[in-house]
């Protein structure tokens, strides 16, 4: 069974202008009128409107399972060890390569959450739709264990996948 967990980070920025006190005077038929502005106070506590409680709970449970798995990782196996990408082409690396974490005796560790990063961002880079070939050349995709919990020791193991970007024929 293969389980894929995607972590999505979204940031919402709310810009609000508040003016405490009085507004600049307005004139009505030569007389000066001062208007009072009421200020709305918003609590500064954390309000999560992005994910309902059931989704937050599921994400927290997935993080716990991934944290339990990360401490057992002895090595990471990736197949194939390279792939070719055309300049301008966008792919999902997880669709092209199989990634498995294994313990010291070679048993596959389920719930492994890999962190993918690219060596040379001028040749290929991650964008909103996936990994994109930018210009011809060769770079490496690093596959490492991942945990968002700073108290978890992440083993210093990694796997490399060679990414070959070729020019698009004219």
Q: pLDDT tens, 13-42?
A: 333 444 444 444 444 455 555 555 455 454
HSE value, Cβ hemisphere, 13 Å, CA-based, for 56: 7
**Burial class of residue 85, CB neighbours in 10 A (0-12, 13-18, 19+):** buried
Q: Which residue has the tokens 């961002």?
A: 121
- pLDDT at residue 49 tops 80: no
User: Which is more confident, 50 or 141?
Assistant: 141
Degrees, nearest 5: CA angle 14-17-18: 125
Confidence of residue 10 (pLDDT cuts 50, 70, 90): very low
- pLDDT at residue 124 tops 60: yes
CATH architecture of 53-166: Sandwich (2.60)
User: Domain coordinates of the chain in residue numbers?
Assistant: 53-166
- pLDDT at residue 139 tops 90: yes
Confidence of residue 151 (pLDDT cuts 50, 70, 90): confident
List the beta bridge partners of residue 125: 132
pTM of the predicted model over 0.75: no
Mean pLDDT of the chain, nearest integer: 76
pLDDT value at residue 51: 66
């Amino acid at each position: 069974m293969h389980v894929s967990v995607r972590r999505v980070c979204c940031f919402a920025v709310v810009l609000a202008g508040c003016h405490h006190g009085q507004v600049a005077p307005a004139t009505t038929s030569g007389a000066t009128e001062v208007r009072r502005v009421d200020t709305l106070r918003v609590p500064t506590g954390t309000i999560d409107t992005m994910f309902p409680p059931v989704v937050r709970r599921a994400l927290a449970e997935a993080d716990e399972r991934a944290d339990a798995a990360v401490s057992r990782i002895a090595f990471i196996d990736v197949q194939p060890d390279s792939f070719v990408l055309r300049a301008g082409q966008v792919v999902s690396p997880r669709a092209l390569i199989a990634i498995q974490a294994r313990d010291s005796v070679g048993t596959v560790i389920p719930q492994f959450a890999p962190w993918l990063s690219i060596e040379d961002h001028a040749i290929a880079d991650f964008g909103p739709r996936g990994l994109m070939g930018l210009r011809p050349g060769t770079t490496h995709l690093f596959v490492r264990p991942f945990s968002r919990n700073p108290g978890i020791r992440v083993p210093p193991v990694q796997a490399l996948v060679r990414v070959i970007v070729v020019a698009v024929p004219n």
